[in-house]
Structure 1
Amino acid sequence: MAQSQGPDVVVRLRNCQNPTETAAALRNIKNEIIGHVKKKELYISAGILQFLVAICATSWDDQPSSSSSRSLSSIDETRLLALQLISSFAQGGAPFLKPLSESSAIDAVFAYISPHKGPPELVQAALSALLNVADAAATVKPSECIDTAWLADEAFLNPPRTRIDLFADLLAPQQSTQATERQIHDVALLITKLCRNEQHQSILAESDVLDNLAANIAGVVVQMGYVVPGAEVWGQSNCLASCIPRPAPSDANLCVLLEAISCVVGESRFASYKFLHCPAIMAIFPNLEFDPGSEVRATFKSLQLAGLGDAHSQRLSAMDYILPTVPVPRTKYGVPNISTYPPLGPKPSPFWDRANGKFTASTASKAPSIWSASRLDTGFTVDMGAEEMESPAVPWLIHLVRARQGREKLAAASLLSCLCKSGFVGRQRETSIGTLVIPPLLSLLDDMDGSVAQEVASVDRQVAEMWEIIELIPLVLGRLATDSEILQKAACDANAIKAISKLFKGSYEPLPDVSSLQAWSPTPEMPDGNPISDAGTFCRLGACGQFPLLIHRTKVRESCLKAIGALAARRDEYRKGFVEQDVLPFVTESLNHIPEEPVMTKERGDADAPIRPLEDAPENPSYGLNPASVIIASCHVIRTFSRSVSIVRTSLLDNAVGVPLYKLMRHRSLEIQIAATSAICNLVTEVAPMRDDLAKYGLMGILCEHAQSQNASLRLNALWALKHFVNGIPSRLKKSCFDCLGSGWLVKLVCDDTEDEAVFGKTDKHMTDDLDEEMEDQPTDSWRTGSGSYRSRTTDQARLFRHIDSRLSALREAEKNPLRKARADDLAVQEQGLDFIRNLIGGGESSMSSTNEVADATAMIDYIFQEIGSDRLFFILLSKLTTKVLHGFQHHRRSVGADVSESATRLLTPNPKIVSAAIMILVHISGSLPRYRQMIIAQQDLLKQLLEQFNVKDKDVRLALCYLVLNLTWHDDGEDATGPRQRIHELKKLGFYSKLESLEAEDAELDERARALYIMEELRRKADSDATARLELDFQARAFVEAVREHETLSHRAAGEVTIGETSSQPTNLPNGEDGDLGSDEFAAVVVRTDRI
């Protein structure tokens, strides 16, 4: 009876004669299926979705629209019920996504999100249905195709821009009603659920969605009374007064708006800058310097005299006065700093006078207020060379973190972390964030710990919100702490290491037995879990989703791994803190797609880790599946921990991280291959004990294969790993690695500069007269306000908006231009390729004597010359030192009364990192036998270009040159004395001697100059009276002194662990040997490159 009820109702539905009968039947079905998953499945199998899609597809012109009437027409009511039924089916979870997709029901729902057609009830029903579909997509297993990413593509990319424009229209500020506020809330919530990758963030940031979200935020700020005093006056003088929005309703949901903007902004500098300079945000948060008055200045002077800070250390806006004082430790110069100052004077009333519709800064007393607009500099002047002031939105967000609770506190911190990561929060603000933001976040995490129920199959709304807060806190904390030692220290001082470690380890608690939780289905299933049915695919349910508790724990794993990677990025003590919390066994387990119970270090045997399948294996119901995001995050943690030599030699070895990383390098996902190859880089250095075991597995072959990949990131990481791998291995293995990589491919990697002209040509091809017009006095129209195009009134206003537009264009170009990115990738690959050649020559086995090391280097030089060719190698090195002149096509620039034709020419100066890497190859060659030194001296064009590099500001370049001069002038015991004399004469004739004198004389440090003078006098005293011998020693002394000075500077920097983007040169033999002894005739300065990433 029950099984035939669904088909019978669907048959009767098809036989309805008019919309009224159809609406009545649909209403009965809706009442029947709400809360009954099995009945929903029954109606799906009966084919009801096809009928609902047909109703939704009814042309808008078939019946008159009822958008202007109070009650819905019969056809609109039928459509509304059809949308509500689709929404109800979507609430059934992941199994219903497949029939909804196959029947085109989701596309039918998207057709109703337009605010310009039909009544708002239909728009709201469509948005509710999409939210339910998004919730269902979040529960699918990682192997399914119909997931959140698929739905996001449907919403934002297919068809391009059309649906995004509709979302922007729904978010546009308009007359506030309950319906419009609900639509804004649902669209913002939908963006929060779907916007996850850079492509979606980019297209949303480029559209009006970001501007309209910012305008809604501005309305909430106005309603809260936090508009900067003087904003209205400043807006009137800068054509932005009309952009100050009306106050939002008192029940406006600030939290969902902040979360949506955080998702759109992400880590994009372009999107962050655009948000901070949206017309509505600029109108309520203008950058106005604030004069606090004489009484407040006197108080600041007292703070300064008390040693609490320098009152003139920064420019304060009015918004800074809502934050408390945060004293900062003294700097190395003994000058303390205060990042913010306390609110002094009478407390201001809300800035927006709702009764009069104006801004006011009056207080309860009649005394002059420090918020008086007369104390604000409302005039605008632009200093294009000065650093831009921090937006008042930043202290406002910090204030929200302190003042709000729960989800709103976290949402404000999330947006603040995005601005921090993008670099639009001043460094002087870090102490405030470390004191006022990070401790409340960790306190919020403590409040949630242990208070959440452990339901497996279903959770209520309150528990789901608690879970989301727990999932987001480590993510926000990690984003805040990235690249900031101050915030990393603040988090660790607030016990973040223990809190994050506990949360992470808790995510691997096994689930209870879930076999009894599988619901009974009236439809028999095949072995693969799909129901047996002869109907179409839109009548069959898809695979079951994951349990909510398992999804929650998987998200916690990912967010905690990202937080661990961020907190342990710089300081070794923080890494050891996490190691002491026993997180490494759980990190190692996170490298597996199918995790099991983590094996603690003390329980792990000496045997190698068992080889477990990467994918396509049965899921462990107690631990679920680790998606790609978790695996990539765990690879990043391994890479971070491997920056510590002690952890590489102990903890990482004990937890056998090498085996799973080796397997992941063969993963079918390119992103996982890149992450695994990056993590392996520091595990194949000479100090890593697992390098030999990985080599036995065939690591060298995989790295050489990845180094020939078409993907630049994979190619870069593979070359970086190979550079470390060849350091300290026998010459036979070096030759084998060189042959495996291929001399032709290596030459292509290090000298492929042919794309420079192509990049320049393609860039100029897109240049039009509009770019040239930016140099004229007319203002640009591309920066728009909320009420239309900006129209210039004054020169300062034109400069303001032209400056904003120029910055946006520059940031967009830096982020989105594929040619620029390709050029940056190419330079990074070239640097690692040159370093690979450098380490092939140097870096012999540690057990070698100095004589054998020179012989090994000589053999490798001969082999490289044989495979590549000496002339070709020197030509490649010369090209790295030469400034390129790129000639573009002619274009026209309109000027006043003339049409000027110009030829686009660009000078491409050598990159300092490439120059340093090229010179160090010469250092290694010259550190071998005298005949190679003579070979370098014979390269006159190369030496002339080397001489030009003495003017480079980069210290690494000057250090490399000093090493090179030292090696070229070296005198071996068995060498004829005429050789060094000739080389010294040639270098002095070219001008190297005078360059070294300049380096010594112009050193700013007096003690360094005195030490250099002392060493040179000692060398002269010991020298023979022969003038040439004295010249030789004098030349060597100058090179030596400068090399030691530069090396000590780098050594101080390299004393800590080197992070991504930094390099360190670590000489295996310093020029003075040990304890300043210069007596080793067999010495040659050989510097291998082992910079940890």
Structure 2
Amino acid sequence: MTRLTVGTILSRLQGSESVQLQVALLRALKNELIGHDERKEASVTLGIIPILGQLLRTRRPGLSHGVESDGAAGQSGLAYGDSEDAKVCLQAVLIVGSLAQGGPTFIAPIFASDILPTLLSVLSSPDCPPSFTLSILRFLNTIADRLPLQSQDQWPRDTRLADIIFSGEHLGALRRIIAQDFGSMRSRLSAEQAAALIGKLCTQEAHKRALAVSGVLDALAVKIASFVVAQGYVPPGAEHYLKDAGSLGVFPEPAPSSARLAPYLRAVTVIIEHSKWRAEHFLSSPGIVTVFPRQILEFDPDDIRKGPWGSTYFSGSAVPRKPGVNPVDSLLPSIPHVHERSSPGSASFPPLGMGESRQRHGRSVLPPISLGQVSDSDEQENSIVPWLLCLLRSERDMTRLMAARLVTVLFRLGLAKKHRVPQFSCLLVPILLRMLDKDYEISESDDLCDDGLITPTQRMKEEAPTVLANLVMDDQDLQKHAVDGNALKRLSQLLKETYNPVPDKLQPMWNPDSDTPARDPDTVSPVCCLGPPGYSPTLCHIMRYRESILKALAALVPFKDEYRKAVCKNGVVPYIIDALKPRPIDAPAGGASTPRNSAADGNPTATILAACGAARMLTRSASVLRTSLIDAGVAEPLFVLIKHPDIEVQIAATAAICNLALDFSPMKQAIITAGIVPILCEHARSTNIKLRIESLWALKHVVYNSPNDIRIKVIEALTPGWIRDIISSDQVTALARRGIEDEADQSSAIAMGRANSFGEQVDILNPVDDSSEQGDDSNMSDTTPSSRMSLDRFLPDARRQRKLALQGSLEQSTQSRQDDIAVQEQLFNLLRNIICGDGATEMIDYLLREIGEDELFTAIANNLRPRTIQLPHRRDVPTRPILVPSEILISASALLIHLGAGLPRHRQLVMDHPDVLMALTNYFNHSNREVRLNCVWSIINLIYMEDSSDRDGCRSRASRLKTMGISDLLARLENDPDIDVKERTKTAVHLMNL
């Protein structure tokens, strides 16, 4: 029989109306294309994409079968799966999946067609056959694997596919697929493919929020709970809580031995990372609550009394027993606990101000609103944390890495307790370091990791350093254990190896079917044009590997100068500087057949961001900055990046330039001469709040001890009006008001809610019947086996859903307000540095003239004054005091100190203002030592006599301060636990009594 060419098959497909013939032709076409990229390219130019799209539209399953409810729709889907139309669609899906495997050049025509929307509508239809489900999900995963190959310069990643899949109409399909039973091999693979798709595509905050609210996160939690059951980690006695609210009511079916846990762990991790609210939503999901119930506080039997009618109550002296040791913890090796590192000064004196005893006068007295987040140290830790640590010791390959990643995310969010640090040091850090070894290999059998582009081992190696970076960040004990494990040397060597040349891929063989005439892309439909060749999978892996290593190096060295010097000693500073260089704008992609990897080829945006972080950490060291970084030329690439079109790169580069602008830095003059100051001023007024903060921080360093003309140019560039508006705004009250509004919204949504044993909010006045709220469809019919659960059991509880939405909104608005406060803080610090050093008195006059005397002092007074906020619907306590952030108090009072350090007439202006000093008197007993110290320094500067001509003025100001009660306030600080405050107080008292 004569072999049909691709062109002949396509022409016969277009003219055929016979379903049987279409199936035969599609099978022949599939066999022709699989493994032959040249034939695939020819088929695209011949119009295979629109032909397949037409077949899928005309032969697809109908949508008129109704919603699946454990019966009819599912039967219709199975019946359709055996039809000839189904065979046509299935072959078309397999062919388009084969095209996608050809690489990024085929992604563009597929996106230009209607194939993706058609397949997703088929996937979301309730009668989609299981064979279609698995094939479509595999095709979507193929697209997701190859999207990053299209453009390594793009940041963030291409979200076109994620925007479609994570839209409202398709989220229900994802939840349904993940929530289905493990029953058949096909359903198991479909659920794993759906979870893998989430792990690859979910990078945007909106998508993560949608997956949590829609119930997909709860469905993933049930899958993870199935593995807990299968492995036998359910704590003894958990069966007693199955009937409690929030539980599934029955243990999930055990996961079969062939099921993979890693995709579910990865999907949960990417959804909850960077959001404590979503993480708590996951921990309170029915699946996790069922297998890891919250330990109930127990009482002594003698404390429980019986009332006259048989009801029980607690005695007045009843004290709950603390929960015992977590049963899962007993499976971990015993590790001696290390005392937590105390914060500076915390052990030397107790907090000053309103003590705990003063806050217990009555139940109606409300504590002040604090603008920071205070964690509850008594909050129970979920048993999933020790379970994940057990997985680290018992599992292998990607499951072990994903367990490490998830437990690290929980630790970073404060949901794994600090006492776990010794366990992380002895169990987790060595495993992550072992993954960095060259001889570390993982199994090739995990097809979800093996995407056909790079090996599972390569995938593991590019993720392990990032997990290590997230784990040791901000924890010096973990950093020390990692460094003691030779992490810096290993990472340094790996970073150097990422610059090794990449061998070229062999050129494809000539094929006679590829001899088609060239076509002008301007005159051809996009569905018939090949896209750009993209980048080599190996090169993309190297870029991700380099990015991950740079993150790990940055996370290991922020606190210890000896660590930073060790990095320099390992000789990787030039490689870090090379990683700061972006790809040339006119550089060709090169294609998969010609990968490049030299320093001149540059780096994608994600790698540049990681390199900026590493450079920023190294510039914290004065010795490193003066030697290794200058020799490597760190300034030049950063000066280029500050003008990069991507705003995230601008932020990262500005953060690194902050340290270059320090007064001891030899690069400070280079910043001025290179014309960076006007750019920083422009960025300081940006609409992006992060860029604004970093730019003001850099300008604060630039103006310190700089000539007055530089300082004046900064004020002119920022404009006095803008400065006046920022320092005069009351961001503290605005943040507190927003918190009150969100608290009221949440209270109205949850009514008289209080946390039950599962951490959920329960309406104690109007209990909600879950069964009636979910409707009749949630009840299992008599024909449903007891081991199977209705899909509606995985839908998010309405109250948990409202709570998640409200808390997510509060988190975003609170962060926005806190950023506004940070802008105000940095602007006060900038003004302080402008009026100190040589020429300070001239700059004070200039500042008072441009900003306005009354406006400047009023702004300082308003930021120092105590504030209260009106509480709605509270008659007993209509207002509540607001705790002003220490950062604002320190920056505003520091500006006052330098105003008082000017000429006598400047000091008199401070004394003449009616509110500044009165506001300052409220903070002489503040708990923060810097606030108290600034208060004392303000008094010293106001009454310090520089020469005899100001003797009378000093005496007059001292006398007035005494009448304001300053002497009494200073007397209370004479025995201050902080030595600096105590010594400065002695000076102030001495000057007051002269």
The amino acid across from 1:622 in the alignment is N
1:875 corresponds, among 858, 866, 891, to 858
The CA distance in 2 between the partners of 1:4 and 1:534, in whole Å, is 28
Q: Which amino acid aligns with 2:569?
A: E
Aligned position for 1:90: 100
Work out the CA distance in 1 between the residues paired with 2:662 and 2:121.
Answer: 57
Structure 2 residue aligned with 1:971: 945
Q: Distance in 1 between matches of 2:242 and 2:965?
A: 60
Partner SS, residue 531 of structure 2: coil
Q: Residues 390, 750 of structure 1: CA spacing in aligned structure 2 closer, same or farther, 3 A cutoff?
A: same
2:622 equivalent in structure 1: 645
Matched with 1:324 is: 333
Are the counterparts in 2 of residues 949 and 957 from structure 1 also a CA contact under 8 Å?
A: yes
Q: What CA deviation, in whole Å up to 9, does each residue of 1:608-654 have, x standing for no partner? A: xxxxx566677683345522111111111111111111111111111
Counterpart among 953, 960, 971 of residue 927 in structure 2: 953
Distance 2:580 2:825 in 1: 30
Q: Which of residues 391, 410, 422 in structure 2 aligns to 1:419?
A: 410
Q: Is 2:429–2:482's contact at 8 Å kept on the other side of the alignment?
A: yes
Partners of 1:722 and 1:836 within 8 A in 2: yes
Aligned length: 892
Which position in structure 2 is the counterpart of 1:107? Answer: 117
Decide whether the 8 Å contact of 1:280 with 1:786 is kept in 2.
no
Residue 732 of structure 1: CA displacement? 2.5
Question: Which residue of the other structure, out of 827, 835, 838, is the alignment partner of 2:832?
Answer: 838
1:342 maps to none
Percent of residue pairs identical: 30
Amino acid at match of 2:812: K
TM-superposed CA distance for 1:282, in Å, is: 1.5
The answer (yes or no) to whether the contact 1:834–1:918 under 8 Å persists in 2 is: yes
Instruction: Find the partner of 2:141 among 131, 139, 151.
Output: 131
**Could you tell me which residue of structure 1 aligns to residue 808 of structure 2?**
812
Q: Secondary structure at the match of 1:111?
A: helix
**What amino acid does structure 2 have at the position aligned with 1:51?**
I
Equivalence for 2:364? none
Cα distance between partner residues in 2 of 1:62 and 1:272: 36
Which amino acid is the alignment partner of residue 468 of structure 2?
L
> In 2, Cα distance between the equivalents of 1:767 and 1:332?
38
Residues 607-1006 of structure 1 aligned to structure 2 (within 5 Å) = 613=584, 621-623=596-598, 625-753=602-730, 760=737, 764=741, 767=745, 770-771=748-749, 773-774=751-752, 777-778=764-765, 808=804, 811-817=807-813, 820-842=814-836, 844=837, 853=838, 856-884=839-867, 908-1001=882-975, 1003=976
- 2:147–2:158 CA contact under 8 A, matched in 1: yes
Partners of 1:74 and 1:255 lie apart in 2 by: 37
Give the Cα–Cα distance (whole angstroms) in 1 for the partners of residues 543 and 771 of structure 2.
43
Match of 1:74 in 2: 84
Q: Which residue of 2 aligns with 1:1091?
A: none
Amino acid at match of 2:596: P
Letter in 2 for 1:778: L
Structure-1 separation of matches of 2:773 and 2:253: 13
Aligned equivalent of 1:162, options 165, 169, 174: 169
Task: Look up the match of 1:445.
Answer: 436
Q: Does 2:389 align with 1:398?
A: yes
CA separation of 1:1032 and 1:122: change in aligned 2, threshold 3 A: closer
Q: Distance in 2 between matches of 1:786 and 1:83?
A: 40
1:440–1:28 Cα change, 3 Å? same
* Structure 1 residues 330 and 90, CA gap change in structure 2 (3 angstroms): closer
Cα displacement (A) at 1:175? 6.1
1:200 to 207, 217, 228: 207
1:696–1:452 CA distance, 2 compared to 1 (3 A):
farther
- The TM-score, its normalising length taken from structure 2, stands at 0.82
Q: Is the 8 A contact 2:463 2:548 kept in 1?
A: yes
Aligned equivalents of 1:16 and 1:902: distance in 2? 82
* Alpha-carbon distance in 2 for matches of 1:781, 1:1032: 65
Summarize the Cα distance change of 1:145–1:60 in structure 2 as closer, same or farther, 3 Å threshold: farther
Equivalent of 2:579 in 590, 605, 618: 590
Q: Distance in 1 between matches of 2:3 and 2:689?
A: 57
CA distance in 1: counterparts of 2:63 and 2:909, whole angstroms: 88
Q: SS state of the match for residue 1000, structure 1? A: coil
C-alpha distance in 2 between matches for 1:690 and 1:666 = 18
For residue 576 of structure 1, what is the aligned residue in structure 2? 565
Query: How big is each residue's C-alpha offset from its partner over 1:547-566, in whole Å with a ceiling of 9 and x where there is no partner?
Result: 22211111101111111111
- 1:937 deviates by 1.4
Distance in 2 between residues matched to 1:627 and 1:81, nearest whole Å: 37
Q: Which runs of 5+ in 1 are unaligned?
A: 292-311, 334-383, 595-612, 792-800, 845-852, 894-899, 1020-1030, 1038-1093
- The residue that corresponds to 1:553 in the other structure is 542
Distance in 1, matches of 2:23 and 2:341, equals 77
Tell me if structure 2 keeps the 8 A contact 1:279–1:786.
Answer: no
Residue type at the aligned position of 1:945: A
Instruction: Measure, in 2, the Cα distance between the counterparts of 1:722 and 1:784.
Output: 60
Superposed displacement of residue 331, structure 1 = 7.0
SS in structure 2 of the partner of residue 940 of structure 1: coil
Matched residues in 2 for 1:768 and 1:418: separation? 26
Q: Tell whether the 8 Å contact from 1:587 to 1:637 is kept in structure 2 after alignment.
A: yes
More displaced stretch, 198-207 vs 754-763: 754-763
Distance change >3 Å, CA 285–CA 101, structure 1 → 2: same
Deviations for 1:993-1017, whole angstroms, at most 9, x for unmatched residues?
111112235x458x999x869x96x
Q: CA deviation at 1:406?
A: 1.8
Deviations 1:578-635 (A, max 9, x none): 11111111111111113xxxxxxxxxxxxxxxxxx56667768334552211111111
Matching of residue 428 in structure 1 with residue 419 in structure 2: yes
Partner of 2:290: 283
- Report the Cα distance in structure 2 between the residues aligned to 1:704 and 1:645, rounded to whole angstroms: 26
Contact 1:195 1:263 in 2 (8 A): yes
Q: CA deviation at 1:807?
A: 7.7
Unaligned residue ranges in structure 2 (runs of 5+): 66-74, 299-320, 343-374, 754-762, 780-796
CA–CA distance in 1 between the matches of 2:489 and 2:847? 51
Deviation per residue, 1:201-221 (Å, 9 max, x gap): 232223211111110000011
CA pair 758-915 structure 1, distance change in 2 beyond 3 A: closer
Compared CA separation, residues 17 and 811, structure 1 to 2 (3 A): closer
**Preserved contact between residue 473 and residue 556 of structure 2 (Cα < 8 Å):** yes
Bigger mean CA deviation after superposition, 123-132 or 314-323: 314-323
Q: Which residue of 2 aligns with 1:16?
A: 16
Opposite residue 326 of structure 2, the aligned amino acid is S
Paired residue for 2:553? 564
Counterpart of 1:547, as a letter, is S
1:510 aligns with 2:492: no
One-letter identity of the residue aligned with 2:893: I
Distance in 1 of aligned mates of 2:586 and 2:948: 62
1:72 offset after TM fit, Å? 0.8
Kindly report the root-mean-square deviation, in angstroms, between the aligned alpha carbons of the 2 structures. Answer: 3.8
After superposition, give the CA deviation of every residue in 1:243-267 in whole Å (9 maximum; x if it has no partner).
5312122211112211221222222
Of 121, 130, 134, which aligns to 2:131? 121
Structure 1 CA distance for aligned equivalents of residues 129 and 442 of structure 2: 43
CA distance in 2, matches of 1:616, 1:716: 33
Give the direction of change, closer, same or farther, for the CA distance of 1:517–1:679 in structure 2 (3 Å limit).
farther
What is the CA–CA distance in structure 2 between the aligned matches of 1:741 and 1:523, rounded to whole Å?
63
The aligned residue for residue 34 of structure 1 is: 34
Q: TM-score, normalised by structure 1?
A: 0.75
Q: Distance in 2 between matches of 1:538 and 1:806?
A: 43
Q: Superposed, which structure 2 residues align to 1:260-409 within 5 Å?
A: 260-288=267-295, 316-329=325-338, 387-409=378-400
Once the two structures are TM-superposed, the CA of residue 803 in structure 1 deviates from its matched residue by: 11
1:111 CA drift (Å): 1.7
Q: CA deviation at 1:162?
A: 1.5
Residues 13 and 25 in structure 1, CA contact (< 8 A), matched pair in contact too: yes
1:945–1:778 Cα change, 3 Å: same
Partners of 1:442 and 1:402 lie apart in 2 by: 14
